[in-house]
Amino acid sequence: MILGEHDLTALALTLRLAALTTVILLLIGTPLAWWLARSRWRLKFLVEAVVALPLVLPPTVLGFYLLVALGPHGPIGGLMAALGGRPLAFTFTGLVIGSVIYSLPFVVQPLQDAFRAIGRRPLEVAATLRASPLDRFFTVAVPLARPGFLTAAVLGFAHTLGEFGVVLMIGGNIPGQTQVVSIAIYDHVEAMEYAQAHWISGGLLLLSFLMLITVYALNRRFRVVKP
């Protein structure tokens, strides 16, 4: 086996990070996307712009601000310290927070589009059939937005897998704690270990490609089911 223990640890950590980030993002992204899709609030565009920021911001910029905020002297890190906890910079928790922010638009936007595509009508129908607002959300909106959920989950997961800049800034490169595969690849290249870099890069490429194929294939099937 050409990959060292380091590499496997980094890979496991990356998958754990991506999975956890995706779950958290689905939990907070769903209500956020629902609200964005349905709200008629005048200043909604401001929230939409904030959600979209990670799409255009250099990851290092995002990472830098997170580092400042999560560090011992930052507002969040300081608060954690005052509460008797550890600062979050250079921890796995810090990485999760960074990843959630970094991948937010990749989950919120597909969900928002899916919710918007449903329109008001099916929910009004459900309302006239005695379904309460929460009931309508779970029995009509969520099932009808299923392709959106699949896209959101896979994009969120895949995007987190490829994270580099943010992690580098706030995670450092601590094996087993904050070292993710993208950084492991970078290290191998720095050390002229191209064989290892090839293996990991190829693996990531294949994984990402397979996930996207799954999404597009399934969504095509969903579209066929819809009229």
Partner 1 sequence: MTIEARFHIDRGGFSLTVDLSLPARGVTAVFGPSGCGKTTLLRAIAGLEFCQGGYLRVGGAVWQDGRQFLPPHKRPIGYVFQEPSLFDHLSVRRNLEYGLKRLKASARKVPLDQAVGLLGIGHLLERRPHQLSGGEQQRVAIARALAVSPALLLLDEPLAALDMTRKREILPYLESLHRELAIPVLYVSHSRDEVARLADHLVLLEDGRIQAAGPVGELFSRLDLALAHGPETETLIEAVVARHDEEFELTYLDFPGGRIAVARNPLPPGSLARLQIQARDVSITLARQSNTSILNIFPAAVDEICKEGPAQVTVRLMVGPVPLLSRITRKSAADLGLKPGKPVFAQVKSVALLS
Question: What is the rounded distance in angstroms from the CA atom of residue 87 to the CA atom of residue 7?
Answer: 27
CB of 6 to partner 1, least distance (A): 46
Span near partner 1 by CB under 8 A; candidates 5-13, 67-75, 106-114, 135-143? 135-143
CB of 137 to partner 1, least distance (A): 12
**Per-position x/- string for 207-226, each x denoting binding to partner 1 as judged by CB under 8 A, each - no binding:** ------------------xx
Span near partner 1 by CB under 8 A; candidates 62-70, 133-141, 148-156, 160-168? 133-141
DSSP annotation of 98 reads H
Instruction: Indicate whether 135 belongs to the interface with partner 1 (CB under 8 A).
Output: yes
Place of tokens 């950590």: 13
Span near partner 1 by CB under 8 A; candidates 82-90, 99-107, 134-142, 169-177? 134-142
Judged by beta carbon, residue 42 or residue 226, the one nearer partner 1 is 226
- Neighbouring residues of 205: CB distance < 8 A, sequence distance ≥ 6: none
Q: Identify whether the C-beta of residue 204 lies closer than 8 Å to the C-beta of residue 161.
A: yes
Q: At what angle do helices 44-56 and 92-118 cross, to 10 degrees?
A: 130
Judged by beta carbon, residue 217 or residue 225, the one nearer partner 1 is 225
# residues contacting partner 1 (CB under 8 A): 22
DSSP annotation of 141 reads I
Question: What is the rounded distance in angstroms from the CA atom of residue 179 to the CA atom of residue 168?
Answer: 9
Instruction: Indicate whether 42 belongs to the interface with partner 1 (CB under 8 A).
Output: no
Q: Identify whether the C-beta of residue 126 lies closer than 8 Å to the C-beta of residue 139.
A: yes
Instruction: Indicate whether 38 belongs to the interface with partner 1 (CB under 8 A).
Output: no
**Assigned token pair, 89:** 């910079």
| Residues 137-196 close enough to bind partner 1 by CB under 8 A | 139-140, 143-144, 146
Instruction: Indicate whether 43 belongs to the interface with partner 1 (CB under 8 A).
Output: no
Which stretches of the chain are DSSP H helices? 5-38, 44-56, 59-70, 75-82, 92-118, 121-128, 133-136, 142-144, 146-161, 165-171, 181-190, 194-225
Instruction: Indicate whether 126 belongs to the interface with partner 1 (CB under 8 A).
Output: yes
**Per-position x/- string for 53-82, each x denoting binding to partner 1 as judged by CB under 8 A, each - no binding:** ------------------------------
Q: By the criterion CB under 8 A, which residues form the site for partner 1? A: 121-122, 124-133, 135-136, 139-140, 143-144, 146, 225-227
